Amino acid sequence: MNHLFKYSIEGSNTINLIYINNKGELTYRSVIVRKINVDSILAYDLKKQQLRTFTFDGVLSVAKPTRQRGVSNA
């Protein structure tokens, strides 16, 4: 997980998170990590267009975005 956070910081690359908040709600976030703290990360949330803090305890999954392939109608 940490290597993907570093990948995001070093190249301002987008990563995808599945996150569970304090209310137990699952959310899917596309973020760019700005800072790694001891127990959390500070990241720019692309959907909300603002900086957000995500605790490591709430991060369930981290992945690079997959490329979407177009369909040829030929």
> Tens of pLDDT along 15-66?
999 999 989 999 999 999 999 999 999 999 999 999 999 999 999 999 999 8
Task: Tell me whether residue 71 is in a domain.
Answer: no
Q: With contact defined as beta carbons under 8 Å apart, do 72 and 11 qualify?
A: no
Structural domains counted in the chain = 1
HSE, CB side, 13 Å, CA atoms: give it for residue 65. 14
Host domain of residue 6: 2-63
Task: Tell me whether residue 73 is in a domain.
Answer: no
**SS3 category, 33:** strand
- Give the separation between CA 42 and CA 50, rounded to whole angstroms: 10
Q: Residue 6: give its domain's CATH number.
A: 2.30.30.100
Task: Tell me whether residue 19 is in a domain.
Answer: yes
The confidence score (pLDDT) of residue 69 equals 61
Residue 12's pLDDT band (cuts 50, 70, 90): very high
